[in-house]
Structure 1
Amino acid sequence: MSRPKGKHKGSIYWKNLSIVLLITCIPIALISVILYYIGTDRIGMEVNKAHQNQLSQSIQHMEDYLSNLEHTVVRLAFDRSMDESLKQMDFIMEFQKTNELMRSFTLMRESNSLIGGVSLYLRDANKLIGDEFGFQSVQSEDDRKLLRSLLEKERTIYWNYSLRKPGYSDTLYKAIVVKLPGGQMYDSYGAFILYLDQAKLNTMVQKLASGEGVAFLINENGDYLTTPHTNELSKEELTLEDAVRSRIAQEDLRDHTFKFDWQGQSYTVSYGEISKLGGKWTFVSATPMSQIIAPVTSLSRLILWISLFGLTVGLLLSWFASNKIYDPIYRLKSLFESSKPTRSDEKDEVTYIENQWNQQLVEQQTLAMQIKESIPTLRESFLLQFLQGNLYTHTESELIDKMKQLDWDAEDKRFAVMVAQLHGISELGGKFSERDSQLITFAASNIILELCSEKLNMVHVINFQDLSVGVFFVLNRSITNEEIKAVLNKLAHDYIAAVNNVLRMKVTIVTSKISDSLVDMPNVLEQTRKALRFRDLHTSNQMLDMNQFMIEPNSAKHFPSELEREIVHAVSLGLEEEAVRLIRLFIQELQGDNSTELMVHQGMMKLLGTLHDTIIKHDVNMYALYEGVHLYEQLMLLSEPDQIVDWFQYKLIHPFIKTLSMTYDGNLREVIDKLLVQIKEEILMDVSLEMYADQLQMSSSKLSKAFRQIHGTNFIDTIIRLRIEKCKELLCKTDMKINEIAELLHYQPSYLIRMFKKSEGLTPRQYREKHAQG
């Protein structure tokens, strides 16, 4: 938002303008004076230093070219392919190798711009190969002497600053001679000759001279390596080069930079040495001092003009800056006004902004209070997810940080859980129905939350919706284990008393172990809930402590197998009421002394498995009969005996008996019942399934299936059971020997003894002695 024109400017604006004028103009004036009197010399020194740095970089650039040339020469001298086989090489017949050799010369020349040409001289073959003229024989005697003289030098690699090319007599070249083979000073069979490109060398050196200055290159003998620059308009440049060269050669100059006066003008001379390939070159550059300090002189004048201009601009900027400083104040005021239905006429913008800011702080505090009030709900949701194990990917530190965000400090704390299970809803005499279990659980969770809030600060109550509640405690590490146990035990006693008095129900409470790790608490809660299965069914209210909890090695419990068989038989006969009566007796047998809920559940699971097998034997589709329900899972959710009996009656037995009665008509059942009576009367005869099937005029398979589905056992097992009963009767009422009884029952004596012991757990002799004593 820009400030509208014509806006009234108060005292704040004029104060700001005065301050900005002082801040802007006075420093500019001081800086201008300092720059003019002090900065000029400093700038001159920096310009000269920059000039020297530029020369140094240029010399280094040229030295890099020479280093590249040196590396090329050394590789060439010791190249294994350049052996003495070149002496016998036929350059015409071995055209391919010749072509590759000439191509390598071309690549060598192109790799370094200082190389103007490459030639290979072979003494015995009297051949000269070059990248410019191909290969040829040396015709002239002068050329042969010249080339052979190159091989007579003692050094393997050396410079020749005035070498004539064979076939040319008018031009001398600077060249590098590399004798072959490399590393031998005598008896060389040939040599490489690398000619320098004089024009390229001149150009490279002259680039280092600026303006009216000169630059040249001399060797260790003081001879020019670059062509002296001549100009018809200024002949003194050549004289200047000679004078500088003489000064460097005659005097022992230690510094690489010195001043040199020549014809009324001062020059700054810089020189440096480059040692490559056995040669010692000196690079010299002479630049007029007037040319170097020219920028400083012009800069000094420019500083004065800039200072005056800066002062003027400072005044304008002061006015502009004052407006800009005032703009934020106006924009902030307008921002507050835009959120209000009416504009304020407050003249003092600062006072207005202050009032509005205080109002915003009040609104912010109100919002912070609302957020703080919502934190408990967010914390409840987080803890529910965490304790259910849904945040298993989080680390300890991540969980602690998250709880800190939710206003709980769980760092360096200890943790514990308590689980309570309510029992006896069926004993309330109809006061509560099964549908009221969630309401009862809600009331129980409120009771324990109220009791915990009186003694502990960080407590979370979990409503499991199944007559059980859990409590998660965050405890201070300074409290000892004994003190924590005392607090939790007192809390458990108070909760049991409150539930007994208010809800008229029994309670089992399990207290977990005290843990130092927050991330382990979901597992601790799960283990604590599992411990509820070990409650004593004969005790109304119980307290279990996981710190002292252990499964006692009770003596082996008697499993009511006989009742189990009777229940199966009643179910198979379709006697629902009888089966339910027997199931109640079965539970009472399981609830013997020192029995726990887990033991009762295990026994009922065994009974469910037996009934499950019986139903399958009757060829009943379990999935269709029970609509895909997981029977074992439903049974595990029940804890009250009455609930378990009702579940067996209405969820398991009744649907099966209803289906069974629909499958078989009454006539077939009557026939099978009469057959069973006949079998009991004829048990001492040699009876068989086929015999009775023929008598009833039906197939043996149909009779076997009907017998099993109606009575729950197959024909053979029934015959064996009846004969065992007959054997028991004969053992107790007669003095017949075992062999005689076996013959009467149509069994082998050994088979009868084995079957009898399997059924009764005793041999026939032991059974007779036991009942004789009775």
Structure 2
Amino acid sequence: MNKQMSKSRGTIYWKNLGIVLLITCIPIAFIGVIIYYIGTDRIETEVNKAHQNQLHSSIQQLNDYMANLEHSVVRLAFDRSLDETLKQLDFVWEFQTTNEIMKSFSLITESNSLINSVSLYLRNSDKIIGDEAGFESVRTDEDRDLLNSLLEQERTIYWDYSLKKINMPDTINKAIIIKLPGGQMYGSFGMFIIYLDQNKLNTMVQKLVSGEGVAFLFNENGDYLTTPPSHEDSQGVQTLEDALKSQISVENANENMFKFDWHHKKYNVSYGKISKLGSKWTVVSATPVSQIIAPVTALSTLILWISMFGLTIGLMLSWFASNKIYDPIYRLKSLFENSRSNRSNEKNEITYIEHQWKLQQQAQQDLSIQIKQSIPALRESFLLQFLQGHLYSHTESELLQKLKQLDWDVHQRRFAIMVAQFHGISELGGKFSERDAQLVTFAASNIIKELCTEKSNMVHIINFQDLSIGVFFVLDPAKSNEAIKANFNKLAHDYIVAVNNVLHMKVTIVTSQISDSMKDIPEILEQTRKALRFRDHHTSNQMLDMNQFLLTNTSQNQFPFELEREIVHTVSMGLEEEAMRLIKQFMLELQSNHNAELMVHQGMMKLLGTIHNEILKQEVDLFALYGGGHLYEQLMQLSEPDQILEWFQCKLIRPFVKALTITYDSNLREMIENLLVQMQKDILLDVSLDMYADQLQMSASKLSKVFRQINGINFIDTMVRMRVEKCKELLVTTDMKINDIAEQLHYQPSYLIRMFKKSESITPRQYREKHTQSLQ
């Protein structure tokens, strides 16, 4: 039904629908409006009237309670048995009289639910008795002054709205004071104190309203006789009770009612006056209008819903009748209304149908063109997922069928992969930077795409974004393997020439095995990419064939362990330049022993591990030194020799040397300088590194490291240089024999001669003869 309603309608349909609506819905809507407005107003008036009558009855009931309280008070005040004889009453010895008085108090309390307790105080006895506390003495002067002040009031019967109970300082009560004897204003010898039950009084007044309404009682002075706890405000903001109290004129003795707005809510307020026990009270009740008319609202809502339901039924019947009348034309027109785009402003159904028929034909042609244009992009996306191995769950037939749907018929075809890696981006003299790797790869992929498109239309180019690309070939099954390989070699040669000429970069190309199964291609692609690591560093452009590819036996090649130890030693001493010179030499030896990139890279990884182990021995915080970076993972991403050497210097050695240099402070430098002066003085003594370490109170190993780091030359070499210089001095200034000079320098003559010749390239005898001739 909803589907039919969403269709466009012509002029015939809307005319029929309008007539049926006028016949059915208009009378129903008219009757509902009359019932709602007339009926609800009448019901609201009656409900409000009944509410007011109920409030008046409740106020009259409260007046009766107060009258009963007044009768109890007057009867107690003018009881003839309570005359001046009470002045001499001894509550203890005249126990019978005391008991009778307490019984009368209990009767008074039970006769009126508003009375909480009754107490009697006699001025001279300084005692007080009551039905609640019994017999007790006035213990504090404060209570005694309070009772006497009550007796001094110029009224015989009066109210106190904040009276505390005797011996209970923390209580505040509303009470009625009756001075004895009754009718005597001055010279009273005692008084009755009637304490009201505040909770019962509050409950009785609150019964005047229900729900969210409020009710309270206040006297002519504005004092509250009731306590409205739910509406008290401690922030100094006027409450609803205060607002109502200021609104009511206490001088008006007649009952009245009005409506009052408070905080966006309307209240129906009723109040009346009560005059009892010498005071005038005003009883106020305020009930939200929404609460009073709630039954009316519910009933009016019900009426409204019934009217809406009737109107809905009328609409549905009108719609049903109109569709039956319009059905023959509608069925023909609905054949063309398949989407909102087919709608037209044409009012004539026949003209509309003709127009829609032409639109359908045009849309079909446009859709066919769009499908053909989107097939290449869909095929590229499918092949990308397939070659990355995401479609491993698909069978061979499913893959072939999917490609057929994407306009590639690969049944009975053969498949192959070619990958290319580009090198030498750092050798271009600033033409490209490392950040341009993606741009260079994109340009190279466009070149291979142009070369492959000339020979086959079923070729997919994969841009790995890391200076490498892959090519997926769908091959003609009629060609032999030799012909296919010849075509691959020619394509690879043409591609190398184009990349060399356009991008000026070196290329390594690997062609895979030829497969009859498309499902094996992702694995073949992975193997072919791994074969790139076996390129020869000494060859600029290379072409490798996986069918003839064999790993060279490198078991007899020697690893430069001695050079590795020298590198680690120089790094531990903090000699950055010397370490980098040795690392370059280390790489050259690896390249001479292992032409394959993989082998060279593995050798550099081993060197990284050895240096990394030496850095750990220096007790350096690796996380702070390298920022939490994964060194092995960073090195794995590099393939070019220049990139690897730069990484070793900038990322590995330099941060360590900088951290090591910081540890050697100015005090250590001054110590080494003083040590050099001392060594010069001790040149003819038999000294050693251990002796100086004991003098400086440090270990020999630490002194050796500090000496090498600050001086640049280790201790032994420094001592040899100093003694060779001393030997040169003695050869020129004295006639001492070489054996005597060697003995003074604590060397064997043969060792001294060998060290001297290594340093000066001549023997000591030749040095003496040379300088003797120059002096002559």
State the TM-score, normalizing by the size of structure 2. 0.46
State the TM-score, normalizing by the size of structure 1. 0.46
